C-alpha cells in the first residue's frame, strides 16, 4: 500500500466496514454516528488517505478553484496582485492555480486549455504582450467560466476589469517632468496592442499638448520594456541631434536599464536627464539615484479582482453585468526627478 494511493476501500477493509459507510463518515454525513466518524477519520489519517477534492467537486459541478494568469510572477507588481488574490480566495474557500505566460501568446493559449481541463470556476488574467487575438478567451465564456481582467485588459465588450487609470497616470508622470523644467521628453512605451501602454502613451501626449510642447515621434521608443530595452533606447537617445532632458518609461524595469546605461556614460540624473518609471518595483528605491515612479496598489487590485470574480461565479446582485473598477494610483517622487 506504500506505493499506491490509499482509497476508501482500503480504509473499509482495515476497519471491516462497508465502503459506503466510510465514504459517508468522511463526508460528515448525519447517517453515521460520531463515534464511527472519529474511528474512520483516525484510520484515514493513520493510513495517509487524501481526499480527491476534484472528483468530489465534479459531482457537484463546481470545483471552488480559480485560475490566475500573469505575464511574469517575478515582477513585484504581479506577485503583489497574487498575494491579494490568494488571501481573498482562501477566505472564500477557493483554491488558486497560478500560471505565467512569460509574455508568450501560444503559452497563454495552452494555459487556458489547461485551466479548462482543471474545470476552474473562473479565471483572473493579465494578458501577455503578444496577445492580439482573443478567440481563446471566448472559449471560456462558451464553457460558462467567468473571466475578469486586471491591469492588462482587452478592449472587448462584456468582460469585467480591475484597472488603474493609465491615461491619467501617464499624464501625471509626464506633467511631473514638465513641471521640473523638462522640455524635450522621451517616452519608452510598451506594445501598442495593449490598452495599458496605449493609454499611458496617450497620457504622455496629452501632457505635452497641455503645456504647449511639441510631440516628436522620434522620441517614442516602443519595446517589451525589459532592462536591456532601456539600455538600448538610452543609447539611441544619446545619439540624437537634440539632447533629451526627460524620460517617461511605461515601466520601472526599462527605466532602471536607462539609469544604469546613462550614469555609466557620464550622464547626470536628474541634472541632465530626469526619469520617471511606472509600477514602483522594489529595486526602484535602491537604484542610484532612486527612481520616481507611479505606484500601483497590487494587493488591493488582487483583492478587488477576486471579489468581483467570486460575485460573478455566485451570480450575486448585479454581478452578471460586466463591470470596470478603477483603483487609485499615485506618483512617488524620488531622486531621479528631483531638480
Residue 199 CA to residue 155 CA, distance in Å, equals: 12
Q: Is-cis flag, bond preceding 289, omega within 30?
A: yes
Mean pLDDT of 232-241: 95
Residue carrying C-alpha cell 470545483: 63
DSSP assignment, residue 256? H
Phi-psi region of 156 (alpha: psi -120 to 50; beta: other; left: phi over 0): beta
Residue 251 reports pLDDT greater than 60 = yes
**DSSP-derived 3-state class of residue 308:** helix
Percent of the chain with pLDDT over 70: 94
Q: Specify whether the CB–CB gap between 270 and 244 falls below 8 A.
A: no
pLDDT at 314: 85
Q: What is the pLDDT of residues 271-321, one digit of tens each?
A: 999 999 999 999 999 999 999 999 999 999 999 999 999 999 987 555 467
Residue 1: per-residue pLDDT: 37
Name, of 3-12, 16-25, 233-242, the range with top average pLDDT.
233-242
Q: Across the chain, what does the average pLDDT equal? A: 91
pLDDT (tens digit, 9 = 90+) per residue, 102-133?
999 999 999 999 998 888 999 999 999 999 88
pLDDT band with cut points at 50, 70 and 90 for residue 3: very low
Say yes or no to pLDDT of 56 above 70.
Answer: no
What average pLDDT does this structure show over 80-105? 96
* Helical H segments across 190-285, by residue range: 195-210, 227-238, 252-264
Mean pLDDT of all residues in 185-201 = 95
DSSP states along 264-333: HTT--TTTT-EEEEEE--GGGGTSSSPPEEEE--HHHHHHHHHHHHHHHHHT-TTTTS--EEEE--EEE-
Instruction: Tell me the whole-structure pTM to 2 decimals.
Output: 0.79
Domains of the chain with CATH codes = 8-51 (1.10.260.40), 64-164+298-327 (3.40.50.2300), 166-296+332-337 (3.40.50.2300)
pLDDT score recorded for residue 2: 41
In the predicted structure, residue 148 carries a pLDDT above the cut 70? yes
Q: Which residues contact 133 (CB under 8 A, 6 or more apart)?
A: 105
For residue 136, pLDDT over 60 is answered with yes
Assess whether pLDDT exceeds 90 at residue 77: yes
pLDDT confidence of residue 316: 56
Strand extents, DSSP E, the chain: 65-70, 95-100, 122-125, 146-150, 160-164, 185-189, 220-222, 246-249, 274-279, 292-295, 324-327, 330-332
CA distances from 75 to 160, 174, 283 (A): 23, 23, 11
pLDDT attached to residue 282: 94
Task: Specify the DSSP class assigned to residue 244.
Answer: P
* Widest CA span in the chain: 88
Q: Measured between alpha carbons, how far is 179 from 20 in angstroms, rounded to an integer?
A: 75
pLDDT of 250 strictly over 80: yes
Read out DSSP for 90-102? HHTT-EEEEEE-T
How far is it, in rounded angstroms, from Cα 212 to Cα 325?
Answer: 32
Closest CA to 157 of 323, 337, 339, 327: 323
213-222 mean pLDDT: 96
Q: ∠ CA 97-278-108 to the nearest 5 degrees?
A: 30
Q: Return the percentage of the chain with pLDDT > 90, whole number.
A: 73
Instruction: State the pLDDT confidence band at 53, using cuts at 50, 70 and 90.
Output: low
pLDDT at position 4 is: 60
Q: Rounded distance, CA 174 to CA 220, Å?
A: 13
State the pairing for strand pair 292-295/246-249.
Answer: unpaired
Q: pLDDT value at position 135? A: 87
Amino acid at each position: 500500500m506504500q506505493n499506491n494511493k490509499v482509497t476508501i476501500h482500503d480504509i473499509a477493509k482495515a476497519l471491516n466496514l462497508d465502503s459506503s459507510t466510510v465514504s459517508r463518515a468522511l463526508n460528515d454525513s448525519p447517517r453515521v454516528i460520531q463515534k464511527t466518524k472519529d474511528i474512520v477519520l483516525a484510520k484515514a489519517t493513520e493510513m495517509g488517505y487524501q481526499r480527491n477534492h476534484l472528483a468530489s467537486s465534479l459531482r457537484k459541478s463546481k470545483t471552488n478553484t480559480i485560475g490566475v494568469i500573469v505575464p511574469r510572477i517575478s515582477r513585484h507588481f504581479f506577485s503583489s496582485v497574487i498575494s491579494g488574490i490568494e488571501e481573498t480566495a482562501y477566505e472564500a474557500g477557493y483554491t488558486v492555480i497560478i500560471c505565467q505566460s512569460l509574455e508568450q501568446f501560444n503559452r497563454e493559449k495552452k494555459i487556458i486549455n489547461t485551466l479548462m481541463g482543471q474545470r476552474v470556476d473562473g479565471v483572473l488574467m493579465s494578458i501577455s504582450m503578444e496577445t492580439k487575438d482573443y478567440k481563446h478567451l471566448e472559449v471560456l465564456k462558451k464553457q460558462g467560466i467567468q473571466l475578469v481582467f486586471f491591469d492588462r485588459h482587452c478592449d472587448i465588450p462584456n468582460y469585467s476589469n480591475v484597472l488603474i487609470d493609465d491615461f491619467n497616470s501617464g499624464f501625471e508622470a509626464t506633467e511631473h517632468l514638465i513641471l521640473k523644467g523638462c522640455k524635450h521628453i522621451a517616452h519608452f512605451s510598451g506594445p501598442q496592442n495593449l490598452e495599458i501602454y496605449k493609454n499611458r502613451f496617450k497620457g504622455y501626449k496629452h501632457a505635452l499638448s497641455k503645456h504647449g510642447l511639441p510631440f516628436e515621434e522620434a522620441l517614442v521608443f516602443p519595446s517589451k520594456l525589459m532592462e536591456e530595452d532601456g539600455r538600448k533606447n538610452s543609447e539611441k537617445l544619446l545619439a540624437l541631434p537634440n539632447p533629451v532632458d526627460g524620460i517617461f518609461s511605461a515601466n520601472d524595469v526599462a527605466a532602471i536599464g536607462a539609469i544604469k546605461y546613462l550614469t555609466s556614460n557620464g550622464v547626470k540624473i536628474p541634472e541632465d536627464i530626469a526619469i520617471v518609471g511606472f509600477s514602483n518595483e522594489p529595486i526602484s528605491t535602491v537604484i542610484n539615484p532612486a527612481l520616481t515612479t507611479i505606484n500601483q496598489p497590487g494587493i488591493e487590485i488582487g483583492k478587488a479582482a477576486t471579489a468581483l470574480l467570486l460575485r460573478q461565479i455566485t451570480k450575486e446582485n448585479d454581478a452578471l453585468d460586466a463591470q470596470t473598477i478603477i483603483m487609485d494610483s499615485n506618483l512617488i517622487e524620488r531622486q531621479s526627478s528631483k531638480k
